[in-house]
Amino acid sequence: MHEGFWDRYKIKEIEMKQIGVIGAGSWGTTLADLLASKGYLVTLWAYESDLVERMRVSRENDLYLAGAKLSKNLSFTNDLAEAVHEKELVLFVPPSQVLRPILAEVAALVDPKTLLVSASKGIENGTLKTMSEVFEELLPKAISNRVAYLSGPSFAREVFERLPTAVAVASADKEVLGRVQQLFSTDKFRVYTNSDVRGIEIGGALKNVIALAAGVSDGLGFGHNTRAALITRGLAEIARIGVTKGADALTFSGLAGMGDLVLTCTGDLSRNRTVGIALGQGKKLDDILSDMKMVAEGVKTTLSAYQLARKLDVETPIVDQMYALLYEGKDARQSVADLMVRDLKPEEG
């Protein structure tokens, strides 16, 4: 452990001792290891029972975080009840489209006093709800108002390797914000607080759609100019949707907005950008996804984003083109061409 950090920030007496983490993808596994490395006793739940057994034996998540040896304070289970029983904090990190059934089961198991944190990023298909709206639907108000939402520019592999990273956490409850900030922070993982839950969520979900578009541009062989335009105009679309849903526009200039967007649109570790590159190179979506072990959230979020924008009557040309490419079979090069020949207008429009 990083003793200098504890001395500097006086985090020697943290109440949290038992933690459950739901979801053993690369991000869930990384956050579980980060917490366990701080001395907490962490139980990591995975859907795949065979993966649980392998992690117990090898102390490695060979499916989603291969080659990374996990903390000795980390235990593994396929039983949701074991993952949440007598835990002082439960962290949710499943793919966004399966959060609902997991949360519905956990809701009957978790103690009302347990601190809940969500690190899933997406918008639910069908209902068009953000993750906080799913929590609000399935949990009593007294509990859902205390949930915190973690987001920001953070590739799992780099966090696991303890490369300096900064993220944001949002909650309506200031006390919860302080506890979560203290709990997750290390000298390599800096957590900023934010009260704008909707903004944090919209930024974290929609950046994956724009990253698909940036990847398509790269796959087509377009240059840095094109990518910069997609990132900048993509941020405008994200902000328009977010503000319409009640978010603070300033949130989108921060870690969970521009920060996460730039990382996901430019980084080689970005799954969504990788999918976009393959699409730009002419590969079929089904073939791309069948070759992937991990979830590219942007594919399903594109459907939700398109439908949500229509519902809110918000203009989203990049989202619209990605929807046409993914769900209507539109040619990738034509999608970019159509973006360039739209009616001329002021930048703020």
Mean pLDDT score, 55-64: 96
Residues 177 and 272 occupy one common structural domain: no
> Among 172, 195, 218, which residue terminates a domain?
195
* Tokens, residue 47: 């859907």
Q: Is the pLDDT of residue 8 over 50?
A: no
**Domain final residue, candidates 151, 180, 195:** 195
Report the mean per-residue pLDDT for the chain.
93
Q: What angle do CA 251, 33, 197 make, to 5 degrees?
A: 20
Q: What is the CATH number of the domain that holds 33?
A: 3.40.50.720
Confidence of residue 30 (pLDDT cuts 50, 70, 90): very high
Look at the block and give the residue holding tokens 């207008």. Answer: 345
- Whether residues 89 and 230 share a domain: the answer is no
Mean pLDDT on 231-240: 97
Same domain, residue pair 269 and 188: no
- 156 conformational bin, left if phi > 0, alpha if psi -120 to 50, beta if neither: alpha
What separation in angstroms does the CA of 92 have from each of 34, 53, 81, 263, 337?
15, 21, 14, 22, 40
Residue 162 is assigned to a structural domain of this protein: yes
Answer whether 136's CB lies under 8 Å from 107's CB. Answer: no
Is-above-0.85 flag for pTM?
A: yes
Decide which of 171, 195, 219 is a domain's last residue. 195
At residue 77, does pLDDT exceed 80?
yes
190 and 227: one domain? no
Residue 250 and residue 129 share a domain: no
At 22 the three-state DSSP class reads strand
User: Mind telling me the catalytic residues?
Assistant: 207
Sorted by sequence, the CB contacts under 8 Å of residue 343 that are 6+ apart come out as none
Residues 97 and 136 in one domain: yes
Task: Give me 139's structure tokens.
Answer: 């949990």
Backbone angles phi, psi at 279, to 5 degrees: -65, -45
What's the pLDDT score for residue 287? 92
Q: Is residue 94 part of a domain?
A: yes
Angle value at C-alpha 120, between 115 and 123, nearest 5 degrees: 120
Do 34 and 138 sit in the same domain of this protein?
A: yes
Residue-level pLDDT at 57: 97
Q: Are residues 229 and 247 in the same domain?
A: yes
Average the pLDDT over each of 149-163, 177-191, 333-347 and give the range with the smallest value: 333-347
Helix (H) or strand (E) holding 8: helix 3-9
pLDDT at 178: 96
pLDDT for the residue 349: 61
Domain count of the fold of the chain: 2
Q: Which residues pair with 89 in a beta bridge?
A: 19, 115
Within this chain, do residues 7 and 98 fall inside the same structural domain, yes or no? yes
Task: Give the pLDDT of residue 305.
Answer: 98
Residue 139 has pLDDT above 80, yes or no: yes
Phi, psi of 85 (to 5 degrees): -65, 125
**Looking at residue 342, what is its pLDDT?**
85
Q: Look at residue 296 in the predicted model and tell me its pLDDT.
A: 86
Same-domain pairing of 174 and 248:
no
Q: What is the DSSP string of 59-115?
A: SB-TTTSTT-BPPTTEEEES-HHHHHTT-SEEEE-S-GGGHHHHHHHHHTTS-TTSE
The single residue listed with the structure tokens 């100019």 is 225
Above 90 in pLDDT, residue 9? no
Residue 345, domain member (yes or no): no
Question: Of 28-32, 80-84, 140-144, which gets the smallest average pLDDT?
Answer: 140-144
Domain residues for 234?
199-340
How many CA atoms lie less than 13 Å away from 183 in the CB half-sphere? Answer: 28
- Other beta carbons within 10 angstroms of residue 270's beta carbon come to 23
Mark whether 165 and 131 lie in a shared domain: yes
Residue 9: partners with Cβ closer than 8 Å, 6 or more residues away: 182, 185
As a whole number of angstroms, the distance between CA 75 and CA 96 comes to: 24
Q: Which of 187, 190, 238 is nearest to 210 (CA)?
A: 238
> Does residue 281 lie within any of the structural domains?
yes
Closest of 79, 38, 80, 26 to residue 296, by C-alpha: 26
**174 and 311 part of one domain:** no
Q: Hey, what are 80's tokens? A: 């949701």
pLDDT digits (tens, 9 = 90+) for 148-159: 999 999 999 999
Residue burial 106-115, b: 16+ Cβ < 10 Å; e: rest: bbebbeeebb
Quote the pLDDT of residue 2. 43
The answer to whether the Cα torsion of 345, 254, 240, 263 is positive or negative is positive
- Write out pLDDT tens, residues 308-333: 999 999 999 999 999 999 999 999 99
| CATH number of the domain within which 251 lies | 1.10.1040.10
Position 348 in a domain:
no
- Give 199-224 pLDDT, tens digit per residue: 999 999 999 999 999 999 999 999 99
